[in-house]
Amino acid sequence: MRIGTISQLWRYPVKSMGGERLESALLTRRGFPGDRGWAVYDETREGIAGAKRLPPLRGLRARYPAEPVAGGASPPAEITFPDGTTHPSDSDAVAPRLSELLGRPVSLRALGPAGSESAPRWTTAGESEETLRELNGVLPGETMPDFSEISPERLRLLRRGNFFDAFPTHLLTRTTLHTLARLAPGIDWDERRFRPNVLMDADAAHGYPEMDWISRRIAIGSAVIEVAMGCPRCVMVTQPVDGVPADARVMRTLVRETKHIAGVYAGVVEEGTVRVGDEMRLL
């Protein structure tokens, strides 16, 4: 059954930095080749960290001058800083520039070939409730996001050998954005806040259609994905990006209306090529 078409495809060479739009891409079990192929490593906390902890990362953009190879190590990405200067991700200059921008010593780590281990992450173990609320963009008295669908052990396995938050593919529909805009019309519900891999024009005109696809398989181009769970949002969706202003009301709306969720995570069942304009079918 047809459920819509692909409107945009996005790849993010460096975790938490702005990404690049694609017209077509190979969708593999590791996601789009090169997606989150690099990440910022906090030298003090000895772990990978994103814009949830290091908000200025949202002001940088990254692209691949050379196309990544499926299953291969991440090639160098070109990083554009807020002042317009650029540096390759593997250059000696990039760590000092990032450290100055972020106010703490950091470096960049790349993914190796498929099957290799990735750098460890800065976890929330031992964090105070106040810090956890801040990271999740949740005010005192509001409910915290529900992570009961994914156990710590399962999350550890899902994150092995990659820099994803959980699953390799994030799908969001314009219908969800339009629904949220009707509920909170004073907010800019630009898709770039949410960093989807696949932005979809769903045939359903109302509500949050992707939530109805959880545990179902979808044919997308010549690939097949399986929708696993709703995507819990954090403080990152409130941060400014590419001219879209900071707005804490984004999380207030999501907490109230969707229990923190916007879009869905999916795993890849069958690899294949996807293109903007491709039809998507529920299997």
pLDDT in tens, 163-186: 999 999 999 999 999 999 999 999
Given a contact cutoff of 8 angstroms between Cβ atoms, the answer to whether 253 and 183 are in contact is yes
Closest Cα partner for 210 from 138, 153, 250, 258? Answer: 258
Structure confidence at residue 152 (pLDDT): 87
First to last CA, the chain: 7
Query: What mean pLDDT is predicted for residues 45-61?
Result: 97
**Most distant CA atoms of the chain, gap in Å:** 52
The CA–CA distances, whole Å, from 115 to 97, 160, 273 equal: 31, 9, 22
Structure confidence at residue 137 (pLDDT): 96
Please state, in angstroms and rounded to a whole number, the distance separating the CA atoms of residues 227 and 197.
Answer: 13
pLDDT beyond 90 at 126: no
Structure confidence at residue 193 (pLDDT): 97
Please state, in angstroms and rounded to a whole number, the distance separating the CA atoms of residues 261 and 72.
Answer: 32
Angle at 31 between CA 268 and CA 151, to 5 degrees: 65
pLDDT confidence band for 100 (50 / 70 / 90): very high
Please state, in angstroms and rounded to a whole number, the distance separating the CA atoms of residues 15 and 137.
Answer: 19
pLDDT confidence band for 145 (50 / 70 / 90): very high
Query: What mean pLDDT is predicted for residues 1-19?
Result: 98
Please state, in angstroms and rounded to a whole number, the distance separating the CA atoms of residues 232 and 74.
Answer: 27
Q: Which residue has the tokens 């002001």?
A: 59
pLDDT confidence band for 215 (50 / 70 / 90): very high
Please state, in angstroms and rounded to a whole number, the distance separating the CA atoms of residues 82 and 90.
Answer: 19
φ, ψ for residue 268, nearest 5 deg: -105, 120
The helix or strand, by DSSP H or E, that contains position 225, with its residue range, turns out to be strand 223-232
Residues 6+ apart with CB under 8 A from 128: none
pLDDT beyond 90 at 123: no
